[in-house]
Amino acid sequence: MCCYGIWYESSGEREPQVQGCWNRKAITCTATCEALLQPITSTSSLYACHCLSDMCNVNISTTLPPVHHPHTTYETLPGSPVSRWVYVAVSSLLLVVTLVVLVLKWLRVCFTLRREETMELEELDTSFNYISLKNPPSEDLQDLEFTQVLKVSSTAILWQGNFHGEDVVIKSYAACGSAQFMNEWRVLSSMLPVAHENVAHLLTAGSAGLGNERLLVLQFYPAGCLRHYLTHHTSDWSITLRLALSVARGLAFLHEEVWQDGCYKASIAHRDLSNENVLVKNDRTCVISDFGLAMVLQRSQKEKAGEKNSALITMTGTLRYMSPEMQDGSVNLRSWECALRQADVYSLGLLLWEIFSRCSSLYPGSAVPDFQLAFEAELGSEPTFSTLRELVLEERRRPKFPELWKQNSQIYSCLKETLESCWDPDPEGRLTADCTEQRLQQLMEYGTLENGQHVE
């Protein structure tokens, strides 16, 4: 017969936990209960002993553990109810934890696979017009006729030409402009199923010439760009609103997601809205053109904002029309697709100011001033980045409203509030393109101006 005892000591007080005896020859029992000390924490210890004499496990003497056995293990006492309970409890707990971990891993794998499948379907369903356009167009455009050069830039030459008996605009890209060609072609092609009257219309694309230059063939707008039109023409209140409203309407279309006849157009940020990238039609409405820097804001991209590279926050577009946050690189990357649209609206506000500055109805009894670009009165025709940054960012100045505009207080108040809400220093405080369109529509429905006076 061998007896045993287990004691727990904490803060100097020793308390027996288990005491008993059982028949077991495999364990060597001593005459007295000499327990081996096993520290648990700095203030508590555990003692255990095996002994042979009667009532030997009542009195206990302790010894320190041998130095050469720092990790002494104790054999489970099969006769102890507490030991069996601890063993069962620990084993059960480990089993439950293992099962929970396995289930969580399985659910995570299933969720990840399901999410990837859903994203792939979304890309196919919502962005097929853009995603599928991976290879450049290969159509042979030898039937094109180039008649005269309209504009030359560092990446492309803009020609007036003829294609199958129709006047067209031909955009011929140099080798260094291949990336812009691909981007503009893909953006314009993605809008073909849901074409809009205030966005330039792509007729075809391909290559021609000995060097196989990459070409975009677009609809021809004989009145030219908005800058040319405003330089050589003034407009009454009705025509001015037609010009302004059509620009806002075109930008609102670009920014919105459109489902039409089973086709989808994603939201698009232009990123280079200026008076040279807006064209005027014969009916004195405008179309937005030049999508070399535009960006399609796909649904799948919106979930990966943190993965976007720094190209999104670099200075992009025409300096004069660049928003303050673009100038100082403070674009909100947590919602970059919204930030890019807000930057477009800032540019829209400056364009609207230029359009209204040539409205004869706003200068009753006076000659309409010569056309000036936004900030031209303050900085001249070619501002530097530092001077524009100082004016726009540090001084927070915007184009001035002429005193003569104030003669009709209601029109002036609505117009001033609309423009100031477009170019607000805080991007979050700006109107959307759609709201700007609605404001201008209200002005059109308000009536006309004759000699500075409102007429129903």
Active site residues: 272
Does residue 141 contact residue 156 with C-beta atoms inside 8 Å?
A: no
Query: How are beta strands 34-39 and 145-152 bridged, if at all?
Result: unpaired
In 390-419, which positions are buried (b, 16+ CB within 10 angstroms) versus exposed (e)? ebbeeeeebbebeebbebbeebbebbeebb
Q: Rounded to the nearest 5°, which phi and psi values hold at 38?
A: -125, 100
Does residue 269 contact residue 337 with C-beta atoms inside 8 Å?
A: yes
- The enclosing H or E element of 271 equals none
Burial class (CB in 10 A: 0-12, 13-18, 19+), 308: middle
DSSP state of 438: H
Mutual orientation of helices 237-255 and 433-446 as an angle, nearest 10°?
160
**How many Å apart are CA 171 and CA 208, to the nearest integer?**
12
- Using alpha carbons, select from 4, 22, 11, 10 the residue that is nearest to residue 58: 4
Contacts of 352 (CB under 8 A, 6+ apart): 244, 247, 248, 418, 419, 422, 436, 440
**How many Å apart are CA 103 and CA 100, to the nearest integer?**
5
- Using alpha carbons, select from 399, 413, 298 the residue that is nearest to residue 353: 399
Maximum alpha-carbon separation in the chain: 126
CA angle 317, 322, 328 (to 5 degrees): 110
- The enclosing H or E element of 425 equals none
At 236 the three-state DSSP class reads coil
**How many Å apart are CA 48 and CA 378, to the nearest integer?**
92
The DSSP result for 341-403, as a single string, is HHHHHHHHHHHHHHHHTTBGGGSTTSPPPPP--TTHHHH-SS--HHHHHIIIIIS---PPPPG
Burial class (CB in 10 A: 0-12, 13-18, 19+), 445: exposed
